[in-house]
Amino acid sequence: MEEHHFIRLDAWIEDDDLVMVVEDNGVGIAPDRLAVLQSQLDTNQLAESNLSGGKGHGGIGMMNVHRRIQLVFGEKYGLCMESEQGKGTRLFIRFPDLAT
């Protein structure tokens, strides 16, 4: 990995929720692919094999984590993604603040 690349982890409390973010400054995700992934998260649909181009990257693991968080804590919680090609990706994870 080159010196200018990074992976950043951050967390904060927002509206009585714990929000964590994993961010990188990699190549990002193409807008059409990001829209598919976000739609799958929003509708709780497992990735379909034809979306992955046969490469085994259909987002099933990410969907499993998202859905498990929702099953334990409720529909308001889970994963959300933001990405910009050429600038990187941010994955947000939202939980209730269990410390309060």
Q: Where are the domains of the chain?
A: 7-96
Q: With H, G, I as helix, E, B as strand and everything else as coil, classify residue 84.
A: strand
Which CATH class for the 7-96 domain?
A: alpha beta
> Which of residues 58 and 23 earns the better pLDDT score?
23
Encoded tokens for 8: 């950043």
Question: Span 61-90, mean pLDDT?
Answer: 93
Phi, psi of 59 (to 5 degrees): 85, 15
The span from the CA of 17 to the CA of 40, in Å, is: 23
Global pTM reads: 0.80
> 54 falls in which pLDDT band (50, 70, 90)?
very low
Q: CA quadruple 49, 79, 75, 99: dihedral positive or negative?
A: positive
Question: Is 52's pLDDT higher than 60?
Answer: no
